[in-house]
Amino acid sequence: MSRTRVTLEYFVERLMAGPRGQIIVCNALDGLYLELFDRAFVREVFHWWRALFVWQRTNVHPGSVAPSKEQEVLAESLHLLVHQDLPPGFRTEPACPKFRLRASSSSMMADACVHVMNASRFVSLMAEQDRRRLAADQLLSVSPERHRDSIGVATSVKVRLRAGCVLGPPRGVLWLTRAATLDSARTADALRDCLGLVHHSTRATLLAIRLSDRSHAEMTRPAFTDAGGHRRFRARADAALPTAEVWGRAVDLERFASESTAVDGEVESVTAPIHADSLGPVEVTPFGPITYSRGTGTTDDDEAFAKRLCSRLGGKESVAYQVKEIVC
């Protein structure tokens, strides 16, 4: 792919050629219209994103690629730009700006919050002494299907994290919801649905980690850059939210699959990764495995979600026009 041929206008056209790109563009526009950031921020993100996409297509994915693969590379490039170290060989000057946690609304954590994650990942973060304790009490088991550890307890348990480890991707964001979410979601399927966690596949085991307000985390309303290529993120909820509100609303996957008019799920916010040394013991609530998938039917796949987002902005052609007017 020739760098000189990929203008910002052409880059937008490639984004709008498939649902993954359409979802991200719609969320960029919605965040702008909600005044979570300004036009200059959107232009800067797209400038860097286009450059990294071209670099990825030239050096990592050379030659012709299928449209679906190109959409994956577009989403991957945004995630890499915002949440990971830039690849060796990509531009070093000027320094890449920080694009995550940039929404205008933020506040310190005032209530107990929870972070939901895959149990197999969490087990790797546990202090060895607690891993042994749970194993001795037969509360830590190995799934024969996946050969991975999972926590097999019916109620909450307190554990410590490994010294020096980080909760959340080191260069990414940590997603939070209110602890009250656990009162209504009783199964992994329900938890996945109300928080829009479409990326967790069948048989994945989920758990919730309770974080107290003593963690001193600064929370921010999620923006399109925080979400990266998340396939069910939505910047604009059905219910009107004040610009200063730090909580967004997740997409409820069950409501979306049933084609409900309103699909607001539970609240969601983001913060910087939290170092384990500042947490002390954490309370963990296992929810068991996901038993059925979401996001693959005709009413709830990526195309259906992109169509819903585009329709709120006047349709796909209108979305393309609006974003080109801003970034080109």
Please give the pLDDT value at position 142.
42
Domain match, 54 and 169 both: no
Domain match, 125 and 274 both: yes
pLDDT digit string (tens) for 121-166? 898 899 999 888 877 766 665 443 443 456 555 578 899 999 999 9
Whether the predicted pLDDT of 172 surpasses 80: yes
Please give the pLDDT value at position 136.
72
Please give the pLDDT value at position 151.
59
CA distance 320 to 304: 18
Domain match, 74 and 178 both: no
Tokens for 48, please give them: 């860097």
CA distance 210 to 285: 8
Domain match, 184 and 219 both: yes
Tokens for 4, please give them: 């000189």
**What angle is formed at CA 164 by the lines to CA 162 and CA 167, rounded to 5 degrees?**
75
pLDDT digit string (tens) for 211-220? 876 666 789 9
Domain match, 115 and 257 both: yes
DSSP run (H or E) holding 92: none
pLDDT digit string (tens) for 229-284? 899 999 999 999 888 889 999 999 999 999 999 999 999 999 999 998 888 899 99
Q: Contact 240/246 with Cβ under 8 angstroms?
A: no
CA distance 51 to 327: 14
Closest CA relative to residue 160, chosen from 130, 122, 121: 130
Domain match, 173 and 229 both: yes
Domain match, 120 and 92 both: no
Domain match, 88 and 111 both: no
Q: What share of residues in the chain are helix, strand, coil (percent, to 5)?
A: 40, 20, 45
CA distance 249 to 196: 9
Domain match, 30 and 156 both: no
pTM of the model: 0.92
Q: Across all residues in the chain, what is the average pLDDT? A: 90
Domain match, 275 and 311 both: no
Q: Position 90: which residue type?
A: F
User: Domain tally for the chain?
Assistant: 2
Say how many C-beta atoms besides its own lie within 10 A of residue 301's C-beta. Answer: 17
Whether the predicted pLDDT of 195 surpasses 50: yes
Q: Contact 116/176 with Cβ under 8 angstroms?
A: no
Please give the pLDDT value at position 243.
81
* Domain extent at residue 173: 106-289
CA distance 270 to 278: 18
Please give the pLDDT value at position 137.
67
Closest CA relative to residue 177, chosen from 235, 119, 114, 118: 114
CA distance 73 to 76: 5
Say how many C-beta atoms besides its own lie within 10 A of residue 98's C-beta. Answer: 10
Domain match, 193 and 233 both: yes
Domain match, 275 and 316 both: no
**What angle is formed at CA 187 by the lines to CA 168 and CA 137, rounded to 5 degrees?**
75
